[in-house]
Amino acid sequence: METELIRIHDLDEQILEMDRAASLIKAGEVVAFPTETVYGLGADGLSEAAVRKIFKAKGRPQDNPLILHVDSVQMLERLVLDIPEDAYRCIERFWPGPLTLLFRKSEIVPDIITAGLQTVAIRMPSHPVALELIRRSATPIAAPSANTSGRPSPTRASHVVQDMKGKIAMIIDGGKTGVGLESTVLDLTEAVPMILRPGGVTLEDLRELLPEVEMDPGLGDGREFTPKSPGQKYRHYAPNAEMIIFSGDRESLVTAMMERAREEESKGRRVGLLVTEENRDRYKGDNVIVMGSVEDKRTIAHGLFDAIRRLDELEIDIILCESVEEDQIGMAIMNRLLKAAGGNRIRL
């Protein structure tokens, strides 16, 4: 299939392009588009045939449900049986934005979206291109991240081209995404509100509104558990290379990573180092990639997936990576790093 590539830099001026994209969604085709988290792979969320094409393009396991993206609370109301009071409060504070909420689904939501579950995950993105696409398509848009299943999520249109060219009808280039990590998934359908996936809205943000929010126990770095959110059980965001996360204080971290790097290089392996801005000058070697600054961990979130993809392009055999503190957005960063590394972590 020929994949059309369009670039949107001025929404007001580019009505024709957005209409073309929306007409493809209405015709049951798949269109990749920018959101404030990562690029999404979108299709008409009420059409089973259209949604099937998303699973096919990504190679996504059928038991992993999708998030529906809406442009308004009116659109949300058609998709759910009820909206609890706490959900309204979250919507008021965090929508549009990187918070996905679970609701009891209404009849019109196809089973393929929820992988047969009785709950449906929904969010309202804040990216103007995403909102405009949903509005013009006049339907909720199902959209997982626009990467091949298992690969790092795309934060630039070029990443989507790498994974999806020839497999989908259109890619909308809207520049680099903002947050750089996926949305937070929050379950409000049970007695205690649970975060099923940490993301752009932090635990600390949510606790200001709902003090009783907890992290789902299935989120630990252990690999043996029964996940409540099917997505928890898969290896995700993974580079081609083997990856190890190093945790400890700054001094021992740098020493241990350099030592390991020399050891691997002596075996003839190509080593890549994924480090924080503050430590960059303390490492030696060709393939030192900075993921962002610990002073502002949002920069790490923003640059992380791009850094991992760049290491893949360098044909690295093993990536040695610094960990970050697990507060604020650090929780989501460590969740992605540990998944990318398949749980491989050295504590110093």
Binding positions for Mg ion, rule: CB under 5 A: 145
Closest approach, Cβ 235 to Mg ion, in A, equals 12
Is the distance from CB of 236 to CB of 340 less than 8 angstroms? yes
Sole binder of ligand AMP in the list 91, 120, 188, 271 (CB under 6 A): 120
Neighbours of 27 (CB within 10 A): 11
Owner of token pair 């640059």: 303
Name the binder of 200 from Mg ion, ligand AMP, none, CB < 5-8 A by kind.
Answer: none
Is the distance from CB of 324 to CB of 276 less than 8 angstroms? yes
Cβ-in-10-Å burial (0-12, 13-18, 19+) of 82 comes to exposed
- CA–CA dist 66, 145 (Å, integer): 10
Sole binder of ligand AMP in the list 21, 67, 168, 245 (CB under 6 A): 67
Closest approach, Cβ 48 to Mg ion, in A, equals 20
What is the gyration radius of the CA atoms in the chain, in angstroms?
20
Owner of token pair 């200001």: 208
- Scanning 59-67, 158-166, 206-214, 331-339 for contacts with ligand AMP by CB under 6 A, the matching segment is 59-67
Neighbours of 61 (CB within 10 A): 14
Contact call for residue 44 and ligand AMP (CB under 6 A): no
Neighbours of 286 (CB within 10 A): 9
Q: How far is CA 227 from the centre of its chain?
A: 18
Name the binder of 197 from Mg ion, ligand AMP, none, CB < 5-8 A by kind.
Answer: ligand AMP
Contact call for residue 229 and ligand AMP (CB under 6 A): yes
Residue type, 175: G
Name the binder of 185 from Mg ion, ligand AMP, none, CB < 5-8 A by kind.
Answer: ligand AMP
For residue 292, report the phi and psi dihedrals to the nearest 5 degrees.
150, -170
Minimal CA–CA distance to 285: which of 308, 264, 306? 264
Closest approach, Cβ 290 to Mg ion, in A, equals 24
* Residue of closest CB approach to Mg ion: 145
- Scanning 116-124, 214-222, 251-259, 315-323 for contacts with ligand AMP by CB under 6 A, the matching segment is 116-124
- CA–CA dist 93, 206 (Å, integer): 9
Owner of token pair 């009071």: 85
- Scanning 88-96, 111-119, 170-178, 262-270 for contacts with ligand AMP by CB under 6 A, the matching segment is 111-119
Q: What angle do CA 340, 342, 345 make, to 5 degrees?
A: 95
Name the binder of 123 from ligand AMP, Mg ion, none, CB < 5-8 A by kind.
Answer: none
Name the binder of 189 from ligand AMP, Mg ion, none, CB < 5-8 A by kind.
Answer: none
Q: What is the DSSP letter of 290?
A: E
* Residue of closest CB approach to ligand AMP: 231
- Scanning 7-15, 161-169, 223-231, 277-285 for contacts with ligand AMP by CB under 6 A, the matching segment is 223-231
Give the footprint of ligand AMP on residues 150-209 (CB under 6 A): 182, 185, 196-197
Contact call for residue 65 and ligand AMP (CB under 6 A): yes
Contact call for residue 66 and ligand AMP (CB under 6 A): yes
Contact call for residue 145 and ligand AMP (CB under 6 A): yes
Q: What is the DSSP letter of 143?
A: -
Name the binder of 229 from Mg ion, ligand AMP, none, CB < 5-8 A by kind.
Answer: ligand AMP
Instruction: Please report, as ranges, the residues that interact with ligand AMP according to CB under 6 A.
Output: 64-67, 102, 114, 117, 119-121, 144-145, 182, 185, 196-197, 229-231
